[in-house]
Amino acid sequence: MKFGKEFAAQMVQEWQEAYMNYNHLKTILKDVLRFRKLRGAPSPEAAATSHGSFKRRASLYRAFSGLAGRYRGSPRTSEDEVILVSAVQESGGDEHYQTLFLDASEEGDYELVFFRSLDIEFNKVINFYKKKVEEVMGEADDLSKQMDALIALRIRVDDPVVGGSNIANLALVGFSSASESVVHPPINSRNPGWSSMEVIQEVEMSAEANSEDTNKRTHDENYKKETETFRPASLEVLDLVKINVEPETPLSTVKKVILNSKTGLSYSREGLRKAEELMNQAFVEFYRKLRLLKSYCFLNQLAFSKIMKKYDKITMRNASKPYLNMVDNSYLGSSDEVTKLMERVEAAFIKHFSNGNRRKGMNTLRPKPKKERHRITFSMGCFTGCSAALLIALVVIIHARDILSSEGGPQYMDNIFPLYSLYGFIVLHMLMYAANIYFWKRYRINYAFIFGFKQGTELGYREVLLIASGLSVLALGCVLSNLDMEMDPRTKSFTAFTELIPLALLILLLVIVFCPFNIIYRSSRFFLIRCAFHCLLAPLYKVTLPDFLLADQLTSQVQALRNLEFYICYYGWGDFTTRTNTCSGSRVFESFYFVVAMIPYWFRFLQCLRRLFEEKDSAQAYNGLKYLIIIIAVAARTAYDLRMGMTLRIFAAATSGAATIMATYWDIVVDWGLLQRDSRNPWLRDKLVIPSKSVYFVAMVLNVVLRLAWMQTVLGFRQTPFLHSKALTAIFACLEIIRRGIWNFFRLENEHLNNVGKYRAFKSVPLPFYYENKRI
């Protein structure tokens, strides 16, 4: 792989604008090479060959200098100097590097452009790196203060009798080993000149000192000095902090709204557990940030080295050595703050969050990348082939027996088809999600970070295809086994065992989803369950991106939710042995038919209200209004579907038209960020991840067309001579799922580009303690 592709592949995508623009500099060097060829200069390859052969011939006639003589390189003359690199001190105190190119020939004009661009890129990189290092140093100070409070809280919880008194002699009276591992000097006793993570180093040293034999160290002078300096933590810090824990339950959210205050510090093991969990997450995310920052530094240094060597090769000069010496001596090449912070974070995390187990601690800090397993690909291919075979068999049987035209065909479509179409909707949605993952990866959209998946647990498109194909095999197999259209002439009923197959498949699916064992991607299943629970209690939980994206998916699965309602009615109050039901005439069923259709939009409406009051974002008011109009439109359409009537039809058409126009505008302009008139890409947006602009215009047209399919129930397309009404409803539901799949890709692309524009490469982890006194 060429370095340019490898460089792009290893970038932190949210920082891609801050990396050295290797391709741009490479393009300038191509212009230099093209100009040299026009002037008749020898190519770098030919010059290297001739120069090498001349050296070999000349070396045969040089005087022999002996085997023991010392090699001495020839001193560099002023004529060999190509560039002069200097650091200019700016008014703000920052250094600005600039390169003076010494060749004033016509050929050197092209090279002058190269060095000017090179300086721009280097100053951009070094300024960004300095800024990020300053940020992590500030975050290190915050983590140090948080560790002060956490260690004090540990001591207070382990021995509540101590109270707020100074416990300087606690280690000498046999304090528990858990407490000994966390004690460190009081805040007021620290030297003001210590570095940003000195607390972590201090805790590590004190823990190491306490692990030795107390009797042997009593006579050691070095130990006496350490015990004078590294004393157990003071508990006075607990009087200045409150636990800053986000509400995790609806009850805690209600209390927060009513009391309108921070949660007080709880000296309980439950409060300590929550604080330790948050600190654990904060350390892991902070360490990940340090790793990416170190990778950023290394990759850019490598890129400057590669581009300078390419320059030397093209121009046959020797300019890379002085320039790379400057890079090595600059802040980018000489600073070691990040490396030191990484070492201290590793030591502190292993001591305080892994019980001294280095392997366990490092596995948490550095999770192993997910491996592509061949058995997943093989199983996915096997299930896909079986699904295709079953589908072909199903079509052949239906056509050969002319099942749909038989006497029991309408009865089957009214009662059995809605039961199995539920699985078709789920499989189609999973196929669209797998396609989304494939294209997100292809166009380097960091979907795992946007969704907040734990590293190594996110599902790839192969895993999603495996689940979808496995479910399709089960569903199609059940359809074939339940494709009987003839009743028993003696009992006038169908076999009870085969009629219960759809219900058994649904129960099996629910058991797999809620299975507590670590099988079938448990972390992803629990992530889905947690997001669904947050949607169910939308206003009582902080709204995150996965939560409202899942609610958006549910708005495209209204027909699937109605099929779930039909399951309850059909097997609860119908006679499944004769394939008859009384759902259409039930007032309760009709009431829930209304409610089920509006539930997903109601979730989104409540989420918009929560974000409006919490984030003070006026755009959420308009978004909530959009979902309120959609709720009214869905209610009108459902009423027309059940009651008919011209008045209801006109009202349903008007509200559906208004909702469609508003939702389409919001999809394209707000969610996708397109139709920007003054952008660099007319009527699109400034940044695009797909090279072909026509894809965006096709997607916009498809979104409008598929949105119009949403209005099919009020436009008169309710019956066709060749399709049953249930099949027609299922087709329009599938079109909505396909539209949602297209929407998902561009919605996440826009979110990714927003993160890139703001250099957001890390999730924000709330810290457990809130310091009221600014002096701490």
Average pLDDT on 295-306 reads 92
> In the structure, what pLDDT confidence band is assigned to residue 760 with cuts at 50, 70 and 90?
confident
Q: What is the pLDDT of residue 306?
A: 92
B/e letters for 694-709, b = 16+ CB within 10 Å, e = fewer, are: eebeebbeebeebbeb
- Write the CA distances from 247 to 75, 263, 767, integer angstroms: 70, 9, 13
104 vs 273, residue with greater confidence: 273
Q: What is the residue-averaged pLDDT of the chain?
A: 80
Beta-carbon contacts of 474 under 8 Å, excluding residues fewer than 6 positions away, are: 423, 505, 508
Q: Which of 91-105, 520-534, 625-639, 681-695 has the lowest mean pLDDT?
A: 91-105
Nearest Cα to 114, choosing from 333, 321, 314? Answer: 314
CA distance 766 to 129: 24
CA distance 378 to 768: 45
Amino acid identity for residue 258 in this structure: I
Residue 127 and residue 94 in contact, taking contact as beta carbons nearer than 8 Å: yes
Please determine, for residue 369, whether its predicted confidence score (pLDDT) is greater than 90.
no
List helix spans (H) across 616-708. Answer: 619-643, 646-665, 694-708
| Tens-digit pLDDT profile for residues 32-90 | 888 877 776 666 665 555 555 545 554 455 554 445 444 333 334 444 567 777 777 66
| Tens-digit pLDDT profile for residues 80-127 | 567 777 777 666 556 778 877 776 565 557 778 888 899 899 999 999
| Tens-digit pLDDT profile for residues 447-494 | 988 998 887 888 999 999 999 999 999 999 999 998 887 776 777 678
Q: Which of 429-433, 570-574, 662-666, 672-676 has the lowest mean pLDDT?
A: 570-574
Q: What is the pLDDT of residue 48?
A: 54
In the chain, the N- to C-terminal Cα span, in Å, equals: 52
Give the phi and the psi of residue 175 in degrees, each rounded to 5: -70, 155
**Dihedral angle over CA of 691, 695, 696, 702, nearest 10:** -170
Give how far the C-alpha of residue 411 lies from the chain's centroid of Cα atoms, to the nearest Å: 47
Strand 241-243 relative to strand 95-101: parallel, antiparallel, unpaired?
A: unpaired
**Ramachandran area for residue 264 (φ above 0: left; ψ -120 to 50: alpha; else beta):** beta
744 vs 169, residue with greater confidence: 744
414: helix, strand or coil? helix
Beta-carbon contacts of 293 under 8 Å, excluding residues fewer than 6 positions away, are: 129, 132, 133, 136, 338
356 vs 163, residue with greater confidence: 356
- Bridge partners of residue 313, in order along the sequence: none
The full 3-state SS of 267-325, as one line of letters, equals CCHHHHHHHHHHHHHHHHHHHHHHHHHHHHHHHHHHHHHHHHHHHHHHHCCCCHHHHHH
Beta-carbon contacts of 538 under 8 Å, excluding residues fewer than 6 positions away, are: 547, 551, 603, 606, 607, 610
CA distance 558 to 754: 30
- Choose from 187-201, 436-450, 711-725 the range with maximum mean pLDDT: 436-450
Q: What is the pLDDT of residue 32?
A: 83
Which residue matches tokens 């309108």?
A: 260
Average pLDDT on 412-431 reads 93
Q: Which of 99-108, 561-570, 745-754, 765-774 has the lowest mean pLDDT?
A: 99-108
Q: How many CB atoms lie within 10 A of CB 57?
A: 9
- Choose from 33-42, 314-323, 519-528 the range with maximum mean pLDDT: 519-528
> Hey, what are 70's tokens?
């010392």
Residue 579 and residue 416 in contact, taking contact as beta carbons nearer than 8 Å: yes
Q: What is the pLDDT of residue 105?
A: 61
Beta-carbon contacts of 58 under 8 Å, excluding residues fewer than 6 positions away, are: none
The answer, as to whether pTM is greater than 0.85, is no
Q: What is the DSSP letter of 162?
A: S
Please determine, for residue 157, whether its predicted confidence score (pLDDT) is greater than 50.
yes
> In the structure, what pLDDT confidence band is assigned to residue 247 with cuts at 50, 70 and 90?
low
Q: What is the pLDDT of residue 217?
A: 46
CA distance 432 to 553: 11
Q: What is the pLDDT of residue 531?
A: 94
Residue 121 and residue 22 in contact, taking contact as beta carbons nearer than 8 Å: no
CA distance 190 to 69: 57
CA distance 429 to 528: 14
Amino acid identity for residue 657 in this structure: G
- Write the CA distances from 243 to 200, 265, 266, 278, integer angstroms: 21, 5, 8, 11
Average pLDDT on 407-427 reads 90
| Tens-digit pLDDT profile for residues 566-587 | 999 999 887 888 888 888 778 8
Residue 600 and residue 554 in contact, taking contact as beta carbons nearer than 8 Å: yes
Share of the chain above pLDDT 90, in %: 36
> Hey, what are 515's tokens?
């299975």
- Vertex 374: Cα angle to 368 and 375 (nearest 5): 105
> Hey, what are 725's tokens?
């009404």
Beta-carbon contacts of 548 under 8 Å, excluding residues fewer than 6 positions away, are: 604, 607
Give the phi and the psi of residue 141 in degrees, each rounded to 5: -60, -40
Q: What is the pLDDT of residue 688?
A: 92
